[in-house]
Amino acid sequence: MCISGPIEIPRQTLLGDPCPAGSRIKPAILDDQHWATAAELCASLPWASTWMGPVCAQLLPQMVDVAVMCSTPAPTPPTIDLMQMALDGTLYRIPNTLLDWFVAWWKVNNWNTYCECNPVYTPGPCVSQALVTHLVTGNVFSARTVIVEWPIGHDWTAMSGRIYNASGGTANMNFDMQIFDIDNVFVYQFSGVSVPVGSSQTFTFNDALMTAAQRHAAAKLVIQAANNSTPSITQNGGADLIGYTGPCVGPGTPSTPPSPDPIAAPPKPDLPDLPAGPVACTTSDLCQIVYAFGLRLDQVVKMLQLDIDVDAHTDAIVSANLPIDEFPSVEIPLVPPDYQIGPTHGPLTGRSSMAVSGLVGLSVALGAGGEGPLELEGQPPYLWNRGWMSILNDDGMLAEKRVTREQYVWLEPAMRLANTFAWTLPDGVEMFATELLPL
């Protein structure tokens, strides 16, 4: 049983453009980005989760920009040769072609869920509109009240109408007449036209004011008004549309084409189900491996600092073939097992330093003033505020330690790198420092 050649993807024949006016994300879709999970990607093909289960488990979630996806028809998934990928050993590596294939099928299967065709407008006649009135409440500082919104024709030479301030009012009314395109984008307006009580005023949009492109884009007329009065009042405003001159294409009736037919899924390959993949560890396993490697690396660094023979421990450290819980423990001493006493320096006072070299450590003892103003419980007792000591080399400080005991042996792994011993002691405190040297 085998499959020869690539999987061909049959597509149903569509009569004409499935979305002649383009497509868009559905208004009900609130999020225009979506994470397509491994389970969603694999479910895009009815046979993928069983036949390609081990591969599906390795797919990473993919971010899909739904707005971009909906701006075009559903994509045609790429043609791939699963047989050849299995033969050359790339199927389990999730090459980009395979991932793109799954993402494309997800888009095919979810296009109708997230997307729709733009409405198509069938042209109609260019007609006038009868008088419409509307109560306007407020004052000159209030927001304008929309009197009417009319779909209008386009490509005319001129379009005329009237605005009314009905009798019985007490103040002038200010009107705005605004034209928008089919996508509700502002095109042109007359603003702040004042009409006295009991009067009307004619307005005309024509080719002297608007370009041919603006008149072609015209799709909606919005007329709104506000009372030109300091106190808030209520009075009637109105408007009508007299008509058009010159050639005119009517506003038309919108209709939404049906969603495109889905693409037929390819058949299941005539191959046995894929066996479990070579990946046999989880993310937690990988984290443990990295952590264990870090511990081994830290041990190697310490041995290098102390001139310990790293080769003698190589077999124990390089044990990647063992399970994590069977990694052998390598005991790394902080310092060589013994040292000899060197010269003693002191009494040391105040803030100063001296040159040192080749040390294993330092033995420090407090002299006069060492008892301190405060002792805390400990064995030996903890001495409060007795100063600081540090070791340095030409690159900077290697280590620092607070002086907290009457006598202390300081064995620091980096001590052999130090060429300076420094201290800072309170007034009246003396300290003696004895060098500890390697045998």
Identify the pLDDT of residue 6. 36
DSSP code of residue 424: E
Spell out the domain ranges in the chain. 23-117, 129-255, 283-326, 339-438
Please state the φ and ψ torsions of residue 128, each to the nearest 5 degrees: -80, 170
For the chain, the straight-line distance linking the first and the last C-alpha, in angstroms and rounded, comes to: 76
Q: Which residues of the chain have pLDDT under 50?
A: 1-16, 280, 308-310, 317, 319-320, 324, 327, 330, 332-335
**Domains 129-255 and 339-438 are alike in CATH topology:** yes
Instruction: For the beta carbon of residue 341, count every other beta carbon within 10 angstroms.
Output: 10
Handedness of CA 398, 403, 404, 406 (dihedral sign): positive
Identify the pLDDT of residue 57. 77
User: Is residue 338 helix, strand or coil?
Assistant: coil
- What angle is formed at CA 23 by the lines to CA 22 and CA 25, rounded to 5 degrees? 155
Identify the pLDDT of residue 98. 79
Identify residue 152 by its one-letter amino acid code.
Answer: I
- What angle is formed at CA 243 by the lines to CA 240 and CA 245, rounded to 5 degrees? 155
Identify the pLDDT of residue 190. 93
Q: Give the whole-angstrom CA distance, residue 196 versus residue 231.
A: 17
Q: Give the whole-angstrom CA distance, residue 238 versus residue 223.
A: 9
Tokens of 382: 């903890």
Instruction: For the beta carbon of residue 237, count every other beta carbon within 10 angstroms.
Output: 27
Residue 20's beta-bridge partner residues? none
Q: Give the whole-angstrom CA distance, residue 177 versus residue 171.
A: 20
pLDDT tens-place string over residues 95-119: 677 788 888 899 988 998 999 988 8
Identify the pLDDT of residue 301. 64
- Exposed/middle/buried for residue 311 (C-beta within 10 Å: 0-12, 13-18, 19+): exposed
Q: Give the whole-angstrom CA distance, residue 256 versus residue 185.
A: 20
| E-state strands within 3-48 | 23-25, 33-36
Identify the pLDDT of residue 138. 95
CATH architecture under which domain 339-438 falls: Sandwich (2.60)
pLDDT tens-place string over residues 259-289: 777 777 777 777 677 776 555 455 566 666 6
**Distances from the Cα of 35 to the Cαs of 26, 39, 40, 76, in angstroms?**
18, 11, 9, 20
Identify the pLDDT of residue 386. 84
Identify the pLDDT of residue 194. 95
Domain 129-255 listed as CATH 1.10.10.10:
no
Q: Give the whole-angstrom CA distance, residue 118 versus residue 417.
A: 75
Identify the pLDDT of residue 439. 82
Identify the pLDDT of residue 50. 80
User: Is residue 336 helix, strand or coil?
Assistant: coil
Q: Give the whole-angstrom CA distance, residue 345 versus residue 433.
A: 5
- Exposed/middle/buried for residue 383 (C-beta within 10 Å: 0-12, 13-18, 19+): buried
